[in-house]
Amino acid sequence: MADAVLTAERVAKAFGAHKVLSDVRFRIGTDEIVGLLGPNGSGKSTLLNIVSGFSHSDAGEILFLGNSIAGMPSHKIARQGLVRTFQLPSMPHRMTVREVLCAGSRDGAGLLDAFSGKGGDDAEADELIEQFALAPVAHLPASSLSGGQKKLLSIAVALRTQPKLLCLDEPTAGVHPQLRGRMVELLKAFSKRGVAMLVVEHDMHFIRELCGRCIVLDRGEIIADCAPRELTKNERVVEAYLGKSVARQKVSA
């Protein structure tokens, strides 16, 4: 198995008396795309927040490329190459889509150009604009995009930073169904170039196409860690998340 890009050990989190994560442990290899599934409120976003430094666990350990990142602020974690997108991305009002992408270059040169109004050649930004179907809106304010387009832009911006691990929170929500297939192909291509991924998502077709493995949370506990095709055979997953009718359809499909 490839080296671990991320290891979570005994992670726990509570908000007041409400235990949101209990004894969560898993590893993600550098060559993996792992789905993070579970009913609403099961703790998926909280786990992404903890992994990416936007929240801190009460107990446990998080290792990124073998080094502890527990308690580290999000900007430091991002600089090390662990980048995430949000369920509801917000975008700057005064920058166009292309400027936002230019600003995201790894060396920061694009940021200077964007703020100095130059916005010159940036072949990588233009390639991402094409890949993520953002060409028709490239010169519009990023804040004016639809929810789905903001999702696409936030993923493109995250990939621009050349992360080692990309955490995506519901990447297809609001994205046109025709674009979801393209998103799968793009994400797989980036994975082959060394970007591991942890993907929170409800679209099971998308998950089966994209992910080699899935972790399922229910009420803050991991109830399954298996290949997507195994999910429908797991009674706890069917009971807590998929629902019996869905499981029957998938098995007979």
Ligand X SMILES: Nc1ncnc2c1ncn2[C@@H]1O[C@H](COP(=O)(O)OP(=O)(O)O)[C@@H](O)[C@H]1O
Instruction: Summarize as ranges the residues that interact with Mg ion (CB under 5 A).
Output: 44-45
Q: Which is nearer to Mg ion, 40 or 116 (CB)?
A: 40
Report the partner that residue 194 touches, choosing among Mg ion, ligand X, none (CB closer than 5 to 8 A by kind). none
Binder to ligand X among 35, 38, 53, 163 (CB under 6 A)? Answer: 38
The residue range among 24-32, 44-52, 72-80, 183-191 that interacts with ligand X, by the rule CB under 6 A, is 44-52
Distance CA 170, CA 86 (A): 8
Binder to ligand X among 3, 10, 41, 71 (CB under 6 A)? Answer: 41
Using the rule CB under 6 A, is 46 a contact of ligand X? yes
The residue range among 26-34, 38-46, 106-114, 138-146 that interacts with ligand X, by the rule CB under 6 A, is 38-46
Using the rule CB under 6 A, is 67 a contact of ligand X? no
Least Å distance, CB 74 to ligand X, is 15
Please give the residue whose beta carbon sits closest to Mg ion in the complex.
45
Q: Which is nearer to ligand X, 14 or 246 (CB)?
A: 14
Least Å distance, CB 230 to ligand X, is 21
Binder to ligand X among 40, 178, 245, 252 (CB under 6 A)? Answer: 40
b/e burial code for range 3-24 (CB count within 10 A of at least 16 → b): ebbbbbeebbbeeeeeebbbeb
Q: Which long-range contacts (CB under 8 A, 24 or more apart) does 87-93 make?
A: 87/45, 87/169, 87/170, 87/173, 87/200, 88/147, 89/150, 89/151, 89/153, 89/154, 90/143, 90/150, 91/141, 91/142, 91/143, 91/145, 91/150, 91/153, 91/154, 92/142, 92/143, 93/141, 93/142, 93/143
Using the rule CB under 6 A, is 15 a contact of ligand X? yes
Binder to ligand X among 4, 6, 11, 20 (CB under 6 A)? Answer: 20
Least Å distance, CB 36 to Mg ion, is 10
User: DSSP of 16-67, one letter per residue?
Assistant: TTEEEEEEEEEEEETT-EEEEE-STTSSHHHHHHHHTTSS--SEEEEEETTE
Distance CA 30, CA 28 (A): 7
Distance CA 231, CA 229 (A): 6
- Tokens at residue 215, please? 């972790």
Least Å distance, CB 55 to ligand X, is 7
Number of residues in contact with ligand X under rule CB under 6 A = 10
Binder to ligand X among 26, 35, 45, 114 (CB under 6 A)? Answer: 45
Q: Which residues bind ligand X (CB under 6 A)?
A: 15, 20, 38, 40-46
